[in-house]
Structure formats: structure tokens, C-alpha cells
């Protein structure tokens, strides 16, 4: 961030040439001459990716497609917009005030057209001072030092003056991120005792969810939505809660309300599309994911997985031109970010494009990796179904050879419920022998887990661990890892005097499993297990 306000590097994002020119002249009157311009959402993304800007003046309405608020949310969530950058929304719509009043990710300020150069200077100056004040916290966040950021925020409290609300918002979110849930909850409640602020209501709900107080959290979210009907972030958090509880139909209904208000939010479109696929509504999934691709363009929020799903759908419909178009786009996205997830997706896309099932062997080493998600596993099976040789009547499945070794590993890894088994089975399309094999593997996992749980119910924790631990380590199945963690905690609580070496080894194993389950199981359950392990470790 430039030290001198007049040396600020500014990006004007507006699709109207006359507005861009007018803003240039207004900035010049403010003494700011380092100005670039972008005429579309895509160009704005590219500019921000290739240069550092101190200020972005963005039009709210870009005509068709994504608006400025949706772009801001996307850039903040993907961490493409530096914390130091000032974002000021410019709009002719007075109703935007209602939008920003409840936005979890709001701009630093907004201006209603027409406005004077004096007003722009005043707003820019205030935002500049705010960013400079919060800079010590941003510095620590950029260093991935959350504890340091919290300490820096607390040090600034006596000096906050006019920036106290901004400081409290940042501090409370940091406490939540650091897992200091009780401190976060108390701070959110203190903020709400003074004034009803939507972001604080949402923050309180997040803290309550992670503390296992789901009923209170749901009540807080419902209240936030009643009080602020346009609060899309509260809807999305509620949808996440419903999904964690397996209430998928309710989650879909909430997502549909979200998208009615923000129809071009790439992240929400992808989540809703994936959820529609989970519910077996392939037509709705396709429609939502196609809209995500249309709005996503060169957005970092657009996932290669989303485009792969569309390519597979096109191949199943024998639409070769769309399939090739999407497969090329998959490879473009995957090459931009060489994560394990994208490498897996790239191999799947290449195997389909070249019609070579042997390329799927390259993915075997990644089948247990945390970035191998259930959605990708489903796509893997669909790809294998498309390109593997036809099954022969009376074929005997063997877990030692492809494709059955792949199906075995995927089924052992991901089947935790009958519903998920059904999803994987449906990915096998018209191959009854594959479907039966997937179903049987899932049943075997379920039976093994039930045997371990039965031992736990009888307080036979050693026997439970003996059954569950090897299977959990071999398969990385979420249900088995959760049951194993419970068994270890219960065992250690009833055996306080076991040898330190064994105790430490079991705590390390359980901690690793609980960490891996982050975001995949109920947040309250994970928090409770983590607390139990911490207490065992402390003693």
C-alpha cells in the first residue's frame, strides 16, 4: 500500500467509457493520477491478478451477468484481493444500501451516483486511514500468524476510536478462525448487546455450531434471516448446517433462496449444483453448473471439478462438441493451479479425451489423498464407465485388477451411508456387476463399523480399537475414522495409567484423524472430540 495517498494506484472497473473517463478526471482533481481501467468483470479479474492496486472503484451493475458485489465476494473468498486494497462500490441504485447493510463481505465504502470529487476524496481518505490503522493485523494475517494477528488486534483496542467497529469485526473473525470459540462467542454477544449487526449474528451462529449447540445456532440464523431477508450469508451457513445433518432437501431449498438473490455467485452455483447431483437431480445440477461456468469465466472460484462434471454429462448425452469444449477448459483450469486435486482431475479429463482407461492407473496413488473428494470419486467412476471395455456377462469382480481395484478403494473410502453408496452405484450407469460390487463393499464397511460400535457399547474399547483402527488407517473412511477416534478417547479415559508411549501414540493417531475430518463431519462433534483429546494430552 502506497504511503502517500496521492500516489495510490487505482483501478476503475466500469463498463461505460464515459463513466471511466469521468472518474479519471475526478481522481485527478483529488491529486491521484496512477489510474488503470477495466470495462468488464473478466478484465477486472485479469487486472487484479497482474498488478497490485491500492484502490478499486467498481461499478455495481455491469449489465448482464455478475454484478460488482458478487465479484467482490468471489475475490475476497478466493483471497485474490489483498487485505490492504480499498474497494469502493459505485452505483446509481439507492437500494444498494440495503444490500451492503447485510453483506458479510461488504466493500470498504460505497457511493451513490452522482457524487462530487470532494465526497470521493473524503470517503477515500477515511478508508485509507482505516486500512493504515488495521495494517499491523493484516501484516500478521499475510504471514499466516493468526495468533499474532489476534494479539495485534487486542493491542489496537485502546487506540481504535472511530474504527472500533471494524476492529471488533476483524478480531471476532480471527478468534473464530483460531478455534477460540468461547472468546469469539462472548465477543459476538457483547457486540450484539449494543446493536443488532447481521455479521455478528452470523458469527455467533458459527461459534455455536462449532461448540455443538446446533439448535441455538439454527435459531440465531433463522432470526438473522427474518430480520434481514437479503442476508445471503446467513442462508448459506444454514444450508451448510442442514447438509452436515443430512437434511439435503432443506439445504437445497435454502440454496435456491440464496441464488434468487445472487444468481451469478460462482461459489454458490457450484455448491448448489453439486448438491443437486447428490439429490439425483441431474437436470438441475447441469443447469446450475452451466451457469457457474458462464459466470466464472477466468475466475479462480470456478473449479475444474465443476467443468469435469459437465464434460461427463455431455459425453453421456453423446454431445461430443460440448464434451470436448469442457474437457479443454478442465485442462486449462487444472494447469493454472497444480494441486493434487487438479492433477487427479486432469488425469481423468485426459483419459476421457484420449479414450485410454489405463491413464486412470495414474490416479491410484492419490485415491487416499485428502484432496480426492467424493465428487471427484463419482466423476472417476463415470469416466471409467465411459471408457473401460464393456463388461462381460457373468464377469467375476476381482479387487486385484482394474476397474474393480479402483471401485473397491473408492467404495471403502467414501461409503458412509446408503445414500452415498447409491450415488457411486448410479455413476456406474448401465453396469449391474459394478453396482453390485460397490454395494457389497459398502455393506462390508458398514458391518465392520457396526461391530466396532457394538464393542464400544459394551465398554470393550480395546476390541473396538483392534477392529476399527487398521480399517480406518487403510481406507481413510470418514465413518471409520470418527468411530476410531471415539473408541480411542473412551479407551484413554478409562485407562488413565497406561504406558506414556502407547498413550501418546493413540492421541497422535486420533488427533490426525480428527484433523482430517475437519469440514467433513458435524463441527460440534469435531470440537468435542478435539477438546477431549486436548484434556487427555494435558493430563
Burial class (CB in 10 A: 0-12, 13-18, 19+), 325: middle
Distance CA 81, CA 117 (A): 25
Q: Omega before 451 cis (within 30°)?
A: no
Q: Omega before 112 cis (within 30°)?
A: no
Distance CA 151, CA 185 (A): 18
Q: Where a domain ends, among 140, 158, 173?
A: 140
Residue 43: CB partners within 8 Å, gap ≥ 6? 13
For residues 165 and 41, membership in a common domain is answered with no
**Cα angle: 146, vertex 240, 137; to 5 degrees:** 15
- Looking at 82-96, 100-114, 276-290, 465-479, which range is the least confident one? 100-114
Q: Where a domain ends, among 108, 140, 172?
A: 140
For residues 4 and 129, membership in a common domain is answered with yes
C-alpha cell at 388: 473401460
Distance CA 53, CA 130 (A): 16
For residues 123 and 172, membership in a common domain is answered with no
What is the count of structural domains for the chain? Answer: 2
For residues 220 and 117, membership in a common domain is answered with no
Residue 106 lies in a domain: yes
Pairing of strands 9-13, 34-38: parallel
Task: Tell me the CATH number at 128.
Answer: 3.40.50.2300
For residues 133 and 31, membership in a common domain is answered with yes
Residue 86 lies in a domain: yes
Q: Give mean pLDDT, residues 52-64.
A: 88
C-alpha cell at 481: 475414522
List pLDDT tens digits, range 427-480.
987 899 999 999 999 999 999 999 999 999 999 999 999 999 999 999 999 999
For residues 92 and 207, membership in a common domain is answered with no
For residues 83 and 165, membership in a common domain is answered with no
Place of cell 478409562: 494
List pLDDT tens digits, range 37-55.
999 988 999 999 999 999 9
Distance CA 119, CA 142 (A): 31
Distance CA 229, CA 240 (A): 18
Pairing of strands 9-13, 55-59: parallel
Q: Where a domain ends, among 211, 229, 247?
A: 229
Distance CA 145, CA 139 (A): 9
Pick from 170, 195, 200, 199: nearest CA to 185 = 200
Pick from 17, 14, 78: nearest CA to 44 = 14
Is the distance from CB of 292 to CB of 274 less than 8 angstroms? no
Distance CA 60, CA 110 (A): 9
For residues 29 and 135, membership in a common domain is answered with yes
List pLDDT tens digits, range 468-494.
999 999 999 999 999 999 999 999 999
Residue 167 has φ and ψ, to the nearest 5°, of: -65, -45
C-alpha cell at 252: 437445497
Residue 111 lies in a domain: yes
Q: Three-class SS of residue 53?
A: coil
CA within 13 Å, CB half, 362: 14
Domain that includes residue 175, residue range: 143-229
C-alpha cell at 191: 457486540
For residues 75 and 135, membership in a common domain is answered with yes
Helix (H) or strand (E) holding 57: strand 55-59
User: For a pLDDT cut of 70, what percent of the chain falls above it?
Assistant: 97
Residue 448 lies in a domain: no
Residue 498 lies in a domain: no
Place of cell 450484539: 192
List pLDDT tens digits, range 186-225.
999 999 998 888 889 999 999 998 888 989 999 999 988 8
Residue 202 lies in a domain: yes
For residues 134 and 42, membership in a common domain is answered with yes
List pLDDT tens digits, range 268-294.
999 999 999 888 888 899 999 999 998
Amino acid at each position: 500500500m502506497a504511503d502517500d495517498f496521492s500516489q495510490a494506484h487505482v483501478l476503475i472497473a466500469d463498463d461505460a467509457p464515459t463513466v471511466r473517463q469521468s472518474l479519471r478526471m475526478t481522481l485527478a482533481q483529488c491529486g491521484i493520477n496512477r489510474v488503470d481501467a477495466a470495462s468488464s468483470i473478466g478484465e477486472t479479474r485479469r487486472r487484479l491478478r497482474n498488478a497490485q492496486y491500492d484502490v478499486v472503484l467498481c461499478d455495481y451493475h455491469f449489465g448482464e451477468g455478475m454484478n460488482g458485489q458478487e465479484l467482490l465476494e468471489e475475490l475476497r473468498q478466493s483471497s485474490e484481493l489483498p487485505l490492504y486494497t480499498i474497494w469502493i462500490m459505485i452505483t446509481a441504485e439507492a437500494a444498494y444500501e440495503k444490500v451492503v447493510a447485510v453483506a458479510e463481505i461488504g466493500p470498504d465504502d460505497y457511493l451513490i451516483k452522482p457524487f462530487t470529487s470532494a465526497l470521493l476524496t473524503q470517503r477515500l481518505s477515511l478508508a485509507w486511514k482505516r486500512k493504515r490503522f488495521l495494517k499491523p493485523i493484516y501484516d500478521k494475517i499475510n504471514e499466516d500468524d493468526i495468533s499474532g494477528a489476534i494479539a495485534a488486534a487486542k493491542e489496537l483496542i485502546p487506540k481504535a476510536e472511530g474504527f472500533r467497529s471494524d476492529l471488533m469485526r476483524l478480531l471476532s473473525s480471527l478468534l473464530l478462525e483460531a478455534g477460540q470459540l468461547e472468546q469469539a462467542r462472548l465477543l459476538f454477544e457483547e457486540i450484539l448487546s449494543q446493536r443488532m449487526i447481521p455479521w455478528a449474528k452470523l458469527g455467533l451462529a458459527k461459534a455455536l455450531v462449532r461448540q455443538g449447540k446446533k439448535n441455538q445456532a439454527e435459531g440465531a440464523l433463522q432470526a438473522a434471516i427474518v430480520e434481514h431477508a437479503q442476508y445471503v450469508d446467513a442462508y448459506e451457513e444454514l444450508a451448510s448446517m442442514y447438509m452436515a445433518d443430512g437434511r439435503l432437501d432443506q439445504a437445497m431449498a435454502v440454496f435456491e433462496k440464496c441464488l434468487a438473490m445472487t444468481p451469478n455467485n460462482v461459489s454458490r452455483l457450484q455448491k448448489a449444483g453439486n448438491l443437486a447431483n447428490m439429490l439425483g437431480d441431474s437436470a438441475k445440477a447441469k443447469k446450475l453448473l452451466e451457469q457457474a461456468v458462464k459466470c466464472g469465466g477466468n475466475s479462480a472460484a470456478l473449479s475444474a471439478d465443476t467443468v469435469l462434471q459437465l464434460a461427463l454429462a455431455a459425453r453421456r448425452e453423446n454431445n461430443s462438441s460440448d464434451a470436448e469444449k469442457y474437457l479443454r477448459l478442465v485442462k486449462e483450469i487444472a494447469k493454472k493451479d497444480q494441486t493434487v486435486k487438479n492433477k487427479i482431475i486432469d488425469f481423468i479429463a485426459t483419459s476421457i479425451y484420449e479414450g485410454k482407461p489405463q491413464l486412470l492407473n495414474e490416479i491410484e496413488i492419490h485415491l487416499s489423498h485428502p484432496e480426492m473428494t467424493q465428487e471427484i470419486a463419482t466423476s472417476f467412476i463415470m469416466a471409467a464407465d465411459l471408457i473401460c471395455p464393456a463388461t462381460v456377462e457373468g464377469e467375476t469382480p476381482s479387487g486385484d485388477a482394474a476397474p474393480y481395484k479402483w471401485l473397491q478403494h473408492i467404495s471403502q473410502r467414501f461409503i458412509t451411508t446408503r445414500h452415498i453408496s447409491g450415488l457411486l452405484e448410479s455413476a456406474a450407469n448401465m453396469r449391474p456387476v459394478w453396482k453390485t460390487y460397490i454395494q457389497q463393499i459398502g455393506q462390508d464397511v458398514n458391518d465392520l463399523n457396526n461391530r466396532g460400535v457394538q464393542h464400544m457399547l459394551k465398554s470393550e474399547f480395546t476390541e473396538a480399537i483392534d477392529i476399527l483402527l487398521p480399517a480406518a488407517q487403510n481406507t481413510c473412511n470418514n465413518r471409520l475414522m470418527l468411530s476410531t477416534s471415539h473408541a480411542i478417547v473412551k479407551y484413554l479415559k478409562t485407562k488413565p495409567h497406561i504406558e506414556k508411549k502407547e498413550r501418546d501414540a493413540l492421541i497422535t493417531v486420533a488427533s490426525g484423524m480428527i484433523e482430517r475430518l475437519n469440514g467433513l463431519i458435524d463441527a460440534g462433534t469435531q470440537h468435542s472430540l478435539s477438546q477431549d483429546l486436548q484434556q487427555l494430552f494435558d493430563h
